Structure 1
Amino acid sequence: MEVFLDQFQDLKHFELKEIKSITAKSDDNKVTREGGSGKVYSGVAFKRLNLISNSGQGNPKFVKEIFMLSRTHDDLISCVGFCSEDDEKVVVYEYEYHGSLDCHLNNMSVMLMQCLKIYFVVARGLCYLHGSKETHQRVIHRDIKSSNILMDENWNAKVSDMRL
């Protein structure tokens, strides 16, 4: 497993103690959002994979997630690092400043052209995932919703939470 992870030299290898120092504190002020697949902390998004020890699925799922999300695509959230120590498997994602789209849907200042741009970006990201030509692996998102569309500091949309 570790030999396979060595191919991801562009990604930061986080130590478990680094992640625990950020996430293990019971300071709820650091948690900006919590979802079914992980917590988002101010400045960094971590996803701790739920590994079922008896299934043998943990390591392949972890490697697949890193493999797919380390391939950069402008319309998808990117993996910036990971931790694989002991029984812990954590994926670290880029942090998107404006959070998820669902927090902005009632904002009347969001213009029609911005909405169309977001729809186009989401469609292009899903096309990339669902088509196997570029990735050589077809991934069906299965959970597309406004809370899984993240907005960066320039209000560009990114598809997240592929649940690979």
Structure 2
Amino acid sequence: MGAPEGEVKKILLVRGGFGKVYKGKLPQCDSTIFAIRLDTGGGQGDKQFRNELQILLDYKHNNIISLVAYCDKEDAKIIVYEYASRGSLDTHLSDARLNWIKRLNICIGVATALNFLHRGVGTLEMVIHRDIKPENILLTSDWSAKLGDFGLSLISAINNETDFVIDHACGTQGYVDPLYLESRILTKESDIFVWCGFI
């Protein structure tokens, strides 16, 4: 799958941890998007890129940011997303317009997305996000929540005997479940612990 035809008008928004983030407009449908272009030097972020792409292709939900297009070439790794016009939740936490009803609806939206990821659907496996934080929750014009940034997420088989994974603890410092950090035992409750800290 490649980028849509026609030249995309783009503006550099920020330089992220693994590349540059752009805002753009698709000329043929006048649709606003945002895109991340991975810095390909040294292979940094390649695993996170593939992880993000796999989850966005397989796990579709109203409260998960949607994939528009992607480019996966050696010298150009780009993911194009639907545009969430209000940006990330962290920029609004002190905003008076973000009243308690909107906050509650955002909480419900993120909880619904996590429930979808943690359950697995049909043949899909469980996804544990591992990096829940306000910066990874995007907001649309009507303040609906869209969970994003799946680079650190773990896709894990679900069965009746095993509901945890032992791995090296990862995530953003200050947002990682302390029990997971100490034991290296990851469960879906690690995502829930972190998210409940914002409520």
The reply to whether TM is greater than 0.5 is yes
68-77 or 115-124, which deviates more: 68-77
2:34 alignment counterpart: 45
* 1:35 and 2:9 correspond: no
* 1:116 and 2:97 correspond: no
Distance in 2 between residues matched to 1:142 and 1:156, nearest whole Å: 21
The RMSD of aligned alpha carbons is 3.1
Tell whether the 8 Å contact from 1:151 to 1:158 is kept in structure 2 after alignment.
Answer: yes
Distance in 1 between residues matched to 2:46 and 2:123, nearest whole Å: 22
The structure 2 residue matched to 1:73, chosen from 61, 64, 71, is: 61
Task: Choose between structure 1 and 2 for higher RCO, CA contacts under 8 A separated by at least 6 residues.
Answer: 1
Distance in 2 between residues matched to 1:161 and 1:59, nearest whole Å: 13
Displacement after TM superposition at 1:152 (Å): 0.9
2:72 alignment counterpart: 84
* 1:125 and 2:113 correspond: yes
**Structure 1 pair 53–121 and aligned structure 2 pair: CA distance change class (3 A):** same
Tell whether the 8 Å contact from 2:86 to 2:141 is kept in structure 1 after alignment.
Answer: yes
Distance in 1 between residues matched to 2:41 and 2:21, nearest whole Å: 22
Distance in 2 between residues matched to 1:47 and 1:41, nearest whole Å: 6
Unmatched tracts of structure 1, length 5 or more = 1-11, 23-29
Distance in 2 between residues matched to 1:131 and 1:123, nearest whole Å: 12
- Offset from partner CA, 1:46-65 (integer Å, 9 cap, x none): 2234668789x948962x53
3-state DSSP of counterpart to 2:138: strand
2:128 alignment counterpart: 140
Q: Which has the larger radius of gyration?
A: 2
**Structure 1 pair 131–146 and aligned structure 2 pair: CA distance change class (3 A):** same
Distance in 2 between residues matched to 1:139 and 1:133, nearest whole Å: 10
Unmatched tracts of structure 2, length 5 or more = 25-32, 154-199
Displacement after TM superposition at 1:85 (Å): 2.7
Q: Which has more strand, going by share of residues?
A: 2
What is the number of equivalent residue pairs in this alignment?
A: 142
Distance in 1 between residues matched to 2:101 and 2:48, nearest whole Å: 40
**Structure 1 pair 153–37 and aligned structure 2 pair: CA distance change class (3 A):** farther
Distance in 1 between residues matched to 2:16 and 2:46, nearest whole Å: 19
3-state DSSP of counterpart to 1:48: strand
Normalized against structure 1, the TM-score is what? Answer: 0.70
Distance in 2 between residues matched to 1:60 and 1:35, nearest whole Å: 13
Displacement after TM superposition at 1:45 (Å): 2.1
Normalized against structure 2, the TM-score is what? Answer: 0.59
Distance in 2 between residues matched to 1:124 and 1:110, nearest whole Å: 20
Distance in 2 between residues matched to 1:78 and 1:135, nearest whole Å: 20
87-96 or 138-147, which deviates more: 87-96
Q: Which has more helix, going by share of residues?
A: 1
Distance in 2 between residues matched to 1:89 and 1:76, nearest whole Å: 21
